[in-house]
Amino acid sequence: MVHILIRVFVLICLCKILCGQGVISEFHYDNEGGDQGEFVEVFWPIPDSQPTNLVDYRIILYNGADSMTNGDRGLQGILSTCDSSGCYYVWETSLQNELEGIALAYAGETDTTLYDFVSYEGTILALDGPAEGVLSMDVEVEEGSDTPVGYSLQRRNDSTWFAGPQTRGVVNPIELSYFDAVYRHQAQVVEVVWETLSENNNAFFEVERSQDGYSFETIGRVWGAGESQYKISYNYIDRNPGRWWPYYRLKQVGFDDGFMYSHVVKVEMGGVESSEGLYVYCHGGNLLLRANNRLFPQLGICIYDLQGKLLFHKNQLSGTTKVVNSHILPEIIVYVVYSGNEIIQSGKLANF
């Protein structure tokens, strides 16, 4: 009987979400480092009438520890933007890094209507406030201490949720599941690769490159699928990446000129990386070794010219990053990196 009642609660809540007006459409609560840019976004669709008395339309937070309200805010005074599909209200507020519920309701003097009640990291059966007696719907995706800054949890059209680069104040255009950039040594190009799980109003992607990670330029455009609920893979070849470590990001642009950015990735140029995570790079007469200190607490290196002459030898290199100031190296060298009596990595490098 209890399971039946809970199911009824869920169906009632779902009906109000789908048949009602506003919904919780996006929020962010945790990321790597100190939490940044936490917010809750409400979407109010057109042609449904927009709220007139915004004070009575409220976002209510529910504490997962006791299922009681622990904060609320009327839509009046909240930053809002509108487009052809509806209006977005973004409340910048602090959210817990553990179970919490978010409700949207009309709470007037004589009438209360619950439009939406979602939660993260579990479900809540509300014990007071406009959602009293209603079981929240868990969004079933979470953010943790490894979530990139600038990400959020976003609602799809079918009321399921996904994590991706935040789109506060605009339609949730794409679900980006993967983005990376890889240097292809043999061709001396960078391949930028990404994958979407769903797309909404997606006109195209712009691929942007930077040498410092801050100032980006557009280097190419790839057309999007417009509308899709299927997995789609994309790639772009940068044939002139330069000789230093470039950064890349995506700018996704919608048909309404709205846009969002992906996270930034950095590409290691001209070096060799082993499967164990040891990276070797040669530049300007110096050799850079970057290694996992736990796996490689002590390293040694030998450097030879192409005739086999030993140019440099150093043992007991320690630290995460090792810079070998050997002397002005020839254009191409042969190197051997070892730990104890074991050769970890060897190969040939061009000296940029």
CATH number at residue 285: 2.60.40.3080
Same domain, 6 and 131: yes
* DSSP code for 314: E
From 233, 251, 266, the end of a domain falls on 266
Structure tokens at 189: 């190009």
- Pairing type for strands 137-138 and 112-120 reads parallel
Chain segment 134-182, per-residue pLDDT in tens: 999 999 999 998 888 888 999 987 788 988 888 888 776 777 777 888 8
57-80 core/surface letters (b: 16 or more CB in 10 A; e: else): bbbbbbbbeebebeebbbbeebeb
Same domain, 105 and 182: no
Residue-level pLDDT at 209: 93
Alpha carbon 242 to its chain centroid, in Å, reads 26
Same domain, 111 and 190: no
Strands across the sheet containing 39-45: 79-83, 86-91, 39-45, 23-28, 151-155, 161-165
- 22: buried, middle or exposed (CB in 10 Å: 19+, 13-18, 0-12)? buried
Same domain, 249 and 279: no
CB 68 within 8 A of CB 61: no
The single residue listed with the structure tokens 């490894």 is 146
Same domain, 74 and 150: yes
Chain segment 290-317, per-residue pLDDT in tens: 766 666 667 788 888 878 888 878 777 7
Query: Which range marks the domain in which residue 314 is found?
Result: 272-350
- Indicate whether 39 pLDDT > 90: yes
Identity of residue 144: G
Same domain, 330 and 216: no
Start-to-end Cα distance in the chain: 73
Chain segment 197-230, per-residue pLDDT in tens: 888 778 899 999 988 788 899 999 999 988 887 8
Tell which residue, 167, 37, 177, has the closest CA to residue 94.
37
Number of domains composing the chain? 3
The three-point CA angle 208-222-149 to 5° equals 45
pTM, whole model, 2 decimals? 0.56
Read off φ and ψ for residue 69, nearest 5 degrees: -65, 145
Identity of residue 189: V
Same domain, 240 and 344: no
Identity of residue 130: P
Continuous segment of H or E residues that includes residue 326: none
